[in-house]
Amino acid sequence: MTIAYYWPIALGVAANIVYHLCAKYVPASMNPFASLTATYLVATVCSAGLYLVTNKGVGLLREVGKMNWASVVLGLAVMCMEFGYIIAYRVGWEVSKASATQTVIGIAVLLVAGAVLFREPITLKKALGVLLCLAGLFLINN
């Protein structure tokens, strides 16, 4: 496997770490939706700028016109996920526990969703991996 295979995961891991540290530092006195609005304004400006740098002559509105329901639901899901983390940190969750809990539960649900929606096999290794994750989650939270 080449660097092309691993760099997106490395970027995601680095961004996830920065994301959780920043979410923990959102001022408790700030309305979380105001914070998310500012966050999405920055993301919008960055995304539009990167689109302009990387596009191949197709206008942004034309590309947006290709959008389906998935982009709308993805936006809602990301907003809800981020809101959930901000509130979790405000009510006392530790950074390591909140992230690990969400991730492990997500892994278990996505294993089943992958099998049902995309016919991805649930192998013995995958099932044991989920069980180990759940055991680790138990140990982290107790």
**What pLDDT digit, counting tens, does each position of 30-85 carry?**
999 999 999 999 999 999 999 999 988 888 888 999 999 999 999 999 999 999 99
CA distances (Å), origin 100, targets 6, 84, 85, 96, 140: 21, 14, 12, 6, 8
pLDDT of residue 56: 80
Residue 137, pLDDT above cutoff 90: yes
98 Cβ neighbours under 8 A, 6+ residues apart = 20, 85, 88, 89
pLDDT score, position 134: 95
Asked if the model's pLDDT at residue 26 lies above 90, the reply is yes
